[in-house]
């Protein structure tokens, strides 16, 4: 009970603080469609966990997930990504300086997110074009005017200093020491934070095992604890050791370089996270109702219902996935272009395109899950408890919702978690084909697409690709490992492949 | 057997009709020919005359489903639906926007696609089975553990990075093979070597891991225990019994993609500049040439359905218990 109260107070405090910030800064909150759906999804997930807490048959497998070392490591990484994604999903339009005729606040047409506000140092200073990681000078020579020996300006071709990368340095030779100092500072802060996490872990372990903290600490490092604290501490240690220096350095250097139009690649990589997460999660929101309703109905009713639904999914399956997606996206692009009046800002147009992409991926992707659920429902309908319900005259829709659905829930869950990573990967491929997200939207796909042609440059512009590769790899790997843990906990025998045939 | 195949083939007809209706809906109803013309000619400042001219040039100046202005059969046949959708059943694909015959393009471009896809398929199958068998043989050891770790890591890398990384390492740094391009005859080998290797490597993660679970499942069965009990060495258990029985689900699962090998690899072909059907499709999508996209959708569906048919037949061939119902 106290815990509920605590959550209630926390949520109201957060809402109140948000309202206060909006009032004080005069910004106009903008709820993009994907934002609303993302928060709806969060509410659904929270509701599910609230429900699962009271259900022993759901609580047990989830506890098994929290006891798997690779699952918890993946969860630590994923929660960092999700936190960035959520901050990036709170959008607003900043107030302009001047006031309107009647004293009202005018708002910029640019839509920013809370994440953009936090990452202000990354966006405030742009370079003109490419620059290497930690560079103080640009990547290409430019013609500069310098005072010559006789006092008259003289034109020379050289690499100009960057406007923000290492601009605080008087002497460029100082760079090594400066980087080292900032890295040390970052590591110091990181180790403080890590110490807090380690202390929390040790004391909660000590309390649970009713042992002194010293023994609990040793048990953690011998991996004897039920919650895999060692894996959590190692993962968060590595993450903090990377994130701490990155944060202290990124304000004064472009730690991952800049792209063709001089945007900071570190910022682009962080912004791409939201796009990947939205595609990976919202697609499942579209796919779920179709797959669950049609799959269980086909298996339960059999007969002509089964024939019809099987026909439907064989037909959709037989169309090559990428082509169907491409056709649908091209068509929707025409519709969006024709109704520009509905979406006043560029961000809204890009957002609608992202939403449409999710919807299309969902509409083409429900077939695999539906087929799995149909097979399971075919088996379940012959079991005694379903037959008993039928004998008692329970209506079919009630049997499906009360008896079939809870028993196929684990397949749904496993498939959704597994599919997340394949969707993140699919986004990159679709963006390459030209039917992915809007070209103005920052995503892994658009990053790779913009950077791949630069591989033929001499010297090679490698950092954009490297950044996209590392961030995407970590996100997908964490998702894959978490999916494995969920699958092992719920049903080790379910074998599902990738849903989106890309 | 023949009766069974005929029945299965007939079952494909309603599916193809469904595919046709979906593509017709997508390409002509959601998006009318006027929209297409506007998109091709530029969205703004386009005269109605220019639109009419474009439509007439590309054969879109007809009613959708029913033509009241003509007589007899022409009322149904002289329509967009008949001209553009029904004719696909006769593999009459019409012309692309650049005026070239799509059918001719398909017939010439399928060879480079096959030259790429058939080696990827065969070499890939051999490589995945070998790797999976290796992991299953050393199950519950460090080899198995790190093998699975490697698989999961490789699954987590986007296919684009395999291509970009392969091109950079082998072509640019080591100068072993040309970065992209294609030539007929024996010269094709040096152009295809890298795409084939990348195609195989890109699939190792998910496929080997999946085949490993198939082999492990097979190893838990009674006949394996019997084989061990009668004193067979572990290697002959693996190769004589487990491999043979494990290949049944692997091969029947792989059969479905064989016809689709014609369609080529979308991404690899366009990266490596191989003039196959995959790059043709990508070019058509990027140029928004809907007649080509529509033809490829239809062709892909036909090939997939052929694949399903082959799968059913292969089941009956490897497992006599499956009857032709």
pLDDT given at position A327: 79
Which H helix or E strand runs over A105? strand A105-107
Structure tokens at A118: 């936090």
Shortest Cα distance, chain A CAs vs residue B247, angstroms: 17
Place of tokens 């929270």: A46
Beta bridge partners of A480: none
Which residue in chain A has the smallest CA separation from B307?
A318
| Inter-chain CB pairs, A–B, below 8 Å | 128
Query: Given a cut of 90, is residue B90 above it in pLDDT?
Result: no
Q: Which residues contact B164 (CB under 8 A, 6 or more apart)?
A: A448, A452, A455, A465, B271
Which residue in chain A has the smallest CA separation from B172?
A456
pLDDT given at position B130: 92
Of all residues in chain B, the percent with pLDDT exceeding 70 is 90
Of all residues in chain A, the percent with pLDDT exceeding 90 is 17
Q: Residue B66, class by beta-carbon neighbours within 10 Å (0-12 exposed, 13-18 middle, 19+ buried)? A: exposed
pLDDT given at position A99: 62
**Closest CB from B19, B210, B293 relative to A326:** B293
**Strongest mean pLDDT among A398-402, A457-461, B56-60, B180-184:** A398-402
Peptide bond into A459 cis (omega under 30): yes
Shortest Cα distance, chain B CAs vs residue A441, angstroms: 18
Spatial distance between the Cα atoms of A163 and A138, rounded to a whole number of angstroms: 9
What integer is the mean pLDDT of A233-255? 88
Cα-based torsion angle of the residue sequence B20, B24, B27, B32 in order, rounded to the nearest 10 degrees: 170
Confidence category of residue A195, pLDDT binned at 50, 70, 90: very high
pLDDT in tens, B119-139: 999 999 999 999 999 998 888
pLDDT in tens, B2-48: 887 888 888 888 888 888 888 888 777 766 777 777 776 766 667 77
* Contact across the interface for A334 and B39, Cβ inside 8 Å: yes
Report the residue of B148, B179, B285 to disrupt the A interface, i.e. the one with the largest count of A CBs within 10 Å. Answer: B285
**Closest CB from A312, A328, A480 relative to B26:** A328
**Three-state DSSP string of A375-434:** HHHHHHCCCHHHHHHHHCCCCHHHHHHHHHHHHHHHHHHHHHHHHHHHHHHHHHHHHHHC
Shortest Cα distance, chain B CAs vs residue A495, angstroms: 8
Spatial distance between the Cα atoms of B31 and A330, rounded to a whole number of angstroms: 9
Integer-rounded Cα radius of gyration of chain B: 25
Query: Given a cut of 70, is residue A85 above it in pLDDT?
Result: yes
- Better-predicted residue by pLDDT, A97 or A189: A189
Shortest Cα distance, chain A CAs vs residue B70, angstroms: 31
Beta bridge partners of A137: A161
B61: phi then psi, degrees, rounded to nearest 5: -90, 35
**Closest CB from B15, B156, B160 relative to A315:** B15
What integer is the mean pLDDT of A38-61? 87
Q: Which residues of A touch B35 (CB under 8 A)?
A: 334, 338
Least confident segment among A90-94, A148-152, A226-230, A391-395 = A148-152
Report the residue of A68, A275, A308, A326 to disrupt the B interface, i.e. the one with the largest count of B CBs within 10 Å. Answer: A326
B14: phi then psi, degrees, rounded to nearest 5: -60, -30
Shortest Cα distance, chain B CAs vs residue A378, angstroms: 19
A164: phi then psi, degrees, rounded to nearest 5: -130, -30
Of all residues in chain A, the percent with pLDDT exceeding 70 is 95
Report the residue of B156, B207, B211, B220 to disrupt the A interface, i.e. the one with the largest count of A CBs within 10 Å. Answer: B156
**Closest CB from B15, B39, B160 relative to A318:** B15
Spatial distance between the Cα atoms of B199 and B194, rounded to a whole number of angstroms: 8
Q: A175, A181 in Cβ contact below 8 A?
A: no
Mean of pLDDT over chain A: 84
* Contact across the interface for A497 and B206, Cβ inside 8 Å: yes
Q: A258, A265 in Cβ contact below 8 A?
A: yes
A112: phi then psi, degrees, rounded to nearest 5: -110, 170
SS3 of A27, please? coil
Spatial distance between the Cα atoms of A213 and B234, rounded to a whole number of angstroms: 49
**Closest CB from B153, B167, B267 relative to A432:** B267
Confidence category of residue A173, pLDDT binned at 50, 70, 90: confident
pLDDT given at position A498: 36
> CA A152 → CA A145, A156, A157, distances in Å?
10, 13, 16
Q: Which residues of B touch A500 (CB under 8 A)?
A: none
Query: Given a cut of 60, is residue A492 above it in pLDDT?
Result: no
* Contact across the interface for A318 and B158, Cβ inside 8 Å: no
* Contact across the interface for B281 and A477, Cβ inside 8 Å: no
Confidence category of residue B313, pLDDT binned at 50, 70, 90: confident
Which residue in chain B has the smallest CA separation from A461?
B168
Query: Given a cut of 70, is residue A486 above it in pLDDT?
Result: yes
* Contact across the interface for B167 and A425, Cβ inside 8 Å: no
pLDDT in tens, A340-397: 777 777 778 888 888 889 998 998 889 889 989 998 898 888 889 999 999 998 998 8
Q: CA triplet A335, A337, A338: central angle to 5 degrees?
A: 65
Report the residue of A304, A310, A313, A331 to disrupt the B interface, i.e. the one with the largest count of B CBs within 10 Å. Answer: A331
Least confident segment among A105-109, A437-441, B206-210, B302-306 = A105-109
Q: Which residues of B touch A318 (CB under 8 A)?
A: 15, 19, 300-301, 304-305, 308
Q: A325, B283 in Cβ contact below 8 A?
A: no
Shortest Cα distance, chain B CAs vs residue A435, angstroms: 8
* Contact across the interface for A477 and B152, Cβ inside 8 Å: yes
Indicate the length of chain A as a whole number: 502
Of all residues in chain B, the percent with pLDDT exceeding 90 is 10
Spatial distance between the Cα atoms of A136 and A172, rounded to a whole number of angstroms: 7
pLDDT given at position A253: 82
Least confident segment among A270-274, A417-421, B221-225, B290-294 = B290-294
Q: Which residues of A touch B260 (CB under 8 A)?
A: 320
Q: B258, B308 in Cβ contact below 8 A?
A: no
Spatial distance between the Cα atoms of A60 and A58, rounded to a whole number of angstroms: 5
Query: Given a cut of 50, is residue A501 above it in pLDDT?
Result: no
Q: A429, B267 in Cβ contact below 8 A?
A: yes
Place of tokens 């106009």: A28
Spatial distance between the Cα atoms of A142 and A262, rounded to a whole number of angstroms: 15
Structure tokens at B127: 């490589």
Beta bridge partners of A69: none
**Closest CB from A319, A326, A495 relative to B301:** A319
pLDDT given at position A102: 63
Angle, to 10 degrees, between the axis of helix B290-318 and the axis of helix B102-137?
A: 40
pLDDT given at position A482: 92
pLDDT in tens, B204-214: 988 998 899 88
pLDDT given at position A274: 92
Spatial distance between the Cα atoms of B312 and B139, rounded to a whole number of angstroms: 32
What integer is the mean pLDDT of A168-174? 76
| Closest to B281 measured CA to CA, from A333, A279, A435, A453 | A435
**Closest CB from A328, A337, A465 relative to B43:** A337
Query: Given a cut of 80, is residue A241 above it in pLDDT?
Result: yes
Mean of pLDDT over chain B: 82
């Amino acid at each position: 009970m106290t815990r509920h109260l605590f959550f209630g107070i926390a949520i109201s405090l957060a809402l109140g603080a948000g309202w206060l910030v909006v009032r004080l800064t005069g910004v106009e909150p903008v709820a993009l469609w994907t934002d609303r759906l993302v928060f709806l999804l969060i509410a659904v997930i929270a509701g599910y966990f609230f429900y699962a807490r009271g259900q022993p048959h759901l609580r047990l497998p989830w506890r098994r997930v929290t006891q798997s070392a690779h699952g918890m490591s993946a969860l630590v990484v994923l929660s960092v990504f999700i936190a960035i994604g959520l901050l990036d999903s709170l959008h607003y339009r900043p107030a302009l300086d001047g006031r309107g005729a009647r004293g009202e606040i005018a708002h910029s047409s640019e839509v920013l997110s809370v994440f953009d506000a936090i990452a202000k140092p990354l966006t405030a200073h742009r370079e003109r074009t490419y620059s290497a990681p930690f560079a103080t000078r640009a990547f290409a020579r430019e013609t500069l005017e310098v005072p010559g020996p006789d006092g008259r300006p003289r034109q020379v071709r050289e690499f100009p200093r960057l406007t923000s990368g290492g601009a605080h340095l008087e002497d460029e030779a100082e760079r090594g020491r400066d980087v080292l100092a900032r890295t040390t500072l970052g590591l110091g802060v990181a180790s403080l934070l890590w110490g807090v996490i380690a202390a929390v872990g040790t004391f909660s372990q000590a309390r649970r095992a009713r042992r002194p903290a010293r023994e609990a600490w040793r048990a953690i490092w011998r991996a004897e604890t039920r919650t895999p604290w060692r894996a959590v501490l190692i993962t968060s240690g590595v993450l903090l050791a990377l994130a701490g220096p990155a944060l202290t350095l990124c304000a004064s250097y472009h730690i991952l370089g800049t792209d063709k139009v001089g945007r900071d690649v570190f910022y682009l990589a962080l912004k791409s996270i939201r796009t990947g997460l939205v595609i990976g999660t919202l697609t499942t929101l579209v796919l779920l109702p179709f797959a669950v309703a049609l799959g269980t109905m086909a298996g339960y009713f059999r007969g002509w219902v089964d024939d019809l639904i099987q026909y439907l999914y064989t037909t959709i399956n037989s169309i090559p996935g990428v082509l169907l997606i491409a056709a649908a996206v091209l068509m929707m692009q025409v519709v969006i272009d024709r109704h520009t009046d509905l979406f006043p800002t560029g961000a809204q147009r890009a957002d609608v395109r992202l939403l449409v992409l999710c919807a299309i991926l969902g509409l083409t992707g429900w077939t695999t899950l539906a087929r799995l659920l149909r097979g399971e429902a075919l088996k379940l309908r012959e079991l005694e408890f379903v037959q008993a319900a039928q004998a008692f005259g329970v209506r079919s829709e009630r049997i499906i919702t009360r008896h079939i659905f809870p028993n196929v829930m684990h397949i749904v869950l496993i498939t959704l978690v597994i599919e997340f990573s394949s969707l993140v990967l699919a986004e990159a491929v679709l963006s390459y084909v030209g039917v992915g997200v809007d070209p103005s939207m920052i995503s892994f796909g658009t990053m790779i697409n913009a950077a791949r042609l630069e591989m033929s440059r001499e010297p090679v512009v490698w950092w954009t690709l490297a950044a996209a590769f590392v961030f995407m790899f970590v996100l997908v790997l964490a998702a894959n490992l978490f999916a494995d843990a969920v699958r092992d906990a719920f049903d080790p025998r379910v074998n599902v492949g990738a849903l989106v045939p890309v | 057997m023949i009766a069974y195949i005929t029945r299965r083939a007939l079952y494909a007809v309603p599916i193809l009709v469904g595919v046709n209706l979906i593509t017709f809906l997508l390409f002509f109803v959601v998006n009318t020919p006027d929209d297409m013309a506007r998109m091709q000619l530029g969205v703004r400042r386009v005269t109605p005359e220019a639109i009419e001219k474009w439509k007439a040039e590309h054969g879109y100046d007809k009613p959708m489903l029913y033509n009241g202005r003509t007589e007899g059969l022409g009322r149904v046949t002289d329509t967009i639906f008949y001209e553009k959708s029904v004719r696909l059943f006769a593999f009459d694909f019409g012309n692309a926007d650049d005026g070239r015959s799509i059918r001719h393009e398909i017939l010439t471009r399928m060879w480079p696609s096959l030259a790429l896809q058939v080696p990827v398929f065969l070499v890939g199958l051999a490589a995945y089975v070998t790797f999976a068998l290796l992991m299953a043989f050393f199950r519950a050891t460090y080899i198995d553990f790190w093998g699975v770790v490697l698989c999961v890591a490789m699954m987590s890398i986007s296919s684009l990075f395999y291509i970009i990384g392969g091109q950079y390492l082998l072509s640019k740094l080591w100068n072993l093979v040309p970065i992209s391009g294609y030539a007929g005859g024996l010269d094709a080998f040096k152009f295809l070597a890298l795409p084939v290797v990348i195609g195989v490597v890109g699939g190792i993660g998910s496929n080997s891991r999946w085949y490993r679970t198939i082999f492990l499942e097979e190893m838990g069965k009674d006949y394996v225990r019997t084989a061990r009990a009668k004193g067979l060495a572990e290697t002959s258990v693996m190769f004589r019994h487990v491999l043979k029985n494990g290949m049944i689900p692997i091969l029947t699962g792989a059969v479905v993609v064989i016809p689709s090998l014609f369609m080529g690899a979308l991404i690899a072909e366009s990266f490596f500049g191989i003039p196959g059907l995959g790059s043709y499709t990508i070019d058509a999508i990027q140029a928004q040439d809907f007649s080509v996209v529509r033809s490829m959708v239809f062709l892909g569906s036909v090939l997939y359905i052929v694949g399903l048919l082959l799968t059913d037949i292969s089941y009956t061939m490897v497992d006599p218990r499956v009857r032709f119902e």
